[in-house]
């Protein structure tokens, strides 16, 4: 299953009052595992960025004036998200801005039923709150020390970790880390192998090994198990 974790930064709080996107960042998840594929762009909002917005994300008008317009990146953005569910914290906010920007460039809107709102998930799981992104990082022990200011791609990366905690997918992975392995018999030549950060302690005793050898010896000279016996088996 493919999902996209998404975050935006804006010039203000209400697209109906002319506020615009200034940054969009996306992280791809495949079967709840980050693939490393991302989409990120700063955007020229074609208006001044108020000081109170700059204080939040640090993206001033001067920095953004030579960045692409949303119209310039719309097709690439839509191609990246495809028809995948969109995982967003306080999804209604980002969705409203995306709808407004897509309408300006005459692209179809993103359906609300594609949204997975992690704020709602957090409120259901932790009804006493608090459930801001920083609060959830503290609750789950997620390192957000790089987050001195809001940033769409960084926040999407952090949100991906929070999302996995909220739905229990991190526990289901049993702490396994993803690594790419080349295989010739897969369609694209790449398979995914999971490895533990720390190898499990050996729990087979010398007595267990000897008992296994004795059992294999009862299976006959041509027993397949004999092919797998080694000096330390």
Strands (E) in the chain, as ranges, are 2-10, 21-30, 33-42, 86-88, 115-117, 177-182, 190-195
Catalytic residue among 57, 95, 150, 212: 150
33-42: strand order across its sheet: 33-42, 21-30, 2-10, 86-88, 115-117
Q: How far apart are CA 100 and CA 107, in angstroms?
A: 10
Q: Are 50 and 79 in contact (CB under 8 A)?
A: no
Q: How far apart are CA 114 and CA 134, in angstroms?
A: 24
Residue among 78, 52, 64 nearest 23 (CA): 64
Question: How many Cβ atoms are within 10 Å of 172's Cβ, its own excluded?
Answer: 10
Where helices occur in 3-132 by DSSP H, the ranges are 51-57, 61-64, 70-81, 91-104, 118-125
Q: Is 150 a catalytic residue?
A: yes
Q: How far apart are CA 156 and CA 144, in angstroms?
A: 12
Q: Which two tokens stand for residue 65?
A: 């004036």
Q: How far apart are CA 137 and CA 227, in angstroms?
A: 50
Catalytic residues: 150
């Amino acid at each position: 299953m493919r999902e996209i974790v998404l975050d935006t930064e804006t010039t203000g709080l209400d697209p109906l009052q002319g506020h615009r996107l200034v940054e969009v960042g996306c992280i791809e998840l495949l079967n709840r595992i980050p693939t490393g594929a991302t989409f990120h762009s700063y955007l020229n909002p074609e208006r001044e960025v108020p000081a109170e917005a700059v204080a939040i994300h640090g993206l001033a008008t001067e920095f953004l004036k030579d960045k692409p317009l949303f119209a310039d990146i719309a097709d690439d953005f839509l191609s990246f998200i495809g028809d995948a569910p969109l995982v967003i914290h306080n999804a209604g906010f980002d969705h409203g801005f995306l709808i407004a920007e897509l309408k300006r460039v005459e692209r179809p809107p993103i359906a609300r039923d594609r949204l997975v709102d992690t704020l709602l998930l957090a409120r259901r799981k932790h009804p006493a709150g608090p459930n801001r992104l920083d609060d959830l990082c503290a609750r789950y022990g997620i390192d957000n020390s790089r987050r001195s200011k809001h940033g769409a791609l960084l926040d999407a990366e952090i949100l991906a970790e929070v999302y996995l905690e909220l739905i229990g997918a991190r526990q289901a992975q049993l702490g396994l880390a993803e690594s790419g392995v080349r295989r010739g018999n897969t369609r694209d030549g790449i398979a995914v192998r999971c490895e533990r950060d720390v190898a499990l302690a050996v729990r087979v005793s010398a007595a267990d090994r000897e008992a296994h050898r004795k059992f294999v010896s009862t299976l006959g000279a041509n027993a397949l198990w004999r092919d797998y016996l080694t000096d330390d088996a």
